[in-house]
Amino acid sequence: MKKFTAPEAWQVTCLKAEPFSHLNQLFDLKSQSDWPTPQWLSSHANTISSQQYNTRFVADETLDFGEKYYEEIIYETHQVPTRSQNWHDLFGALIWCLFPKTKALLNALHIEEIEQFGLKQRSKKRNALTLFDECGLVLAIDDDMWRDAFKAHDWQRVFYDNKSQWPQSLKPFVFGHANYEMLTDPFIGLTGKLVCINVDAAFWQLSLAQQYIWLDTKLVELISDGLLEDNTKMSPIPLLGIPNWYEPQDLAFYQNTDYFRPKRRK
């Protein structure tokens, strides 16, 4: 398997690929001639939601909070430490802009877990919070059969046989900023953690920004109800199988069982 290395310099070529289409539509990311600054990111913090949030992105090298942990800094100051010229932190900031309520909830839940277990002992819940934060993919679906097919690892059916159903009946929304980072140089093996959310007919009529607002609110509800108590309610999804996220996507591609792994038998 290829070892992932993010592009060293700012480049927009990789950002023109389909997985980044939402970021280009909502933030025009590919038009940036150089690394977006924390100030630029902060100016977009309320672009999606009409509700005002106090979260700001601050250059990591300018912060001095002593022994404060990353999650503690965010929780206490509403400032997100953001490393300069860093893909991981850039996409992390953009996810804050897209899912502000969910990110704030995850931050608060991390603090609760830290207060209960300390920094060194990681609970199942905190592991699940981190995994979704880094690798989560939200899939809006119009029928439970899609959720069942993903759980069954029926990859050819959902990706290849029903390619025309994307994105009319299945629409992906990246949540994990590590997913975006690795999609700058995609490799066979790239896998996210899937959360399917049922939506009604009205959802498909919303603008892209409104869809993010709706999903942000729904995720808060689901997480508050126990979605991320552990990893069991997330399932793997080979990200490059999503139609138009990679090429070639012929039948032989989906028959690669080293990547599109069948369901393990109990």
* pLDDT at res. 203: 98
pLDDT 10s digits, 110-166: 999 999 988 778 899 999 999 999 999 999 999 999 999 999 999 999 999 999 999
Is pLDDT above 60 for 58? Answer: yes
Give the per-residue pLDDT at 53: 64
Place of tokens 């819940």: 125
Determine if the peptide bond prior to 236 is cis (ω within 30°).
no
Q: 203-220 as b/e, with b when 16 or more CB fall inside 10 Å?
A: beeeeebebbbbbbebbb
- pLDDT of 50 higher than 70: no
| pLDDT (0 to 100) of residue 121 | 81
**pLDDT tens digits, one per residue of 103-126:** 999 999 999 999 998 877 889 999
Question: Comparing 53 with 159, which gets the higher pLDDT?
Answer: 159
Stated pTM of the model? 0.95
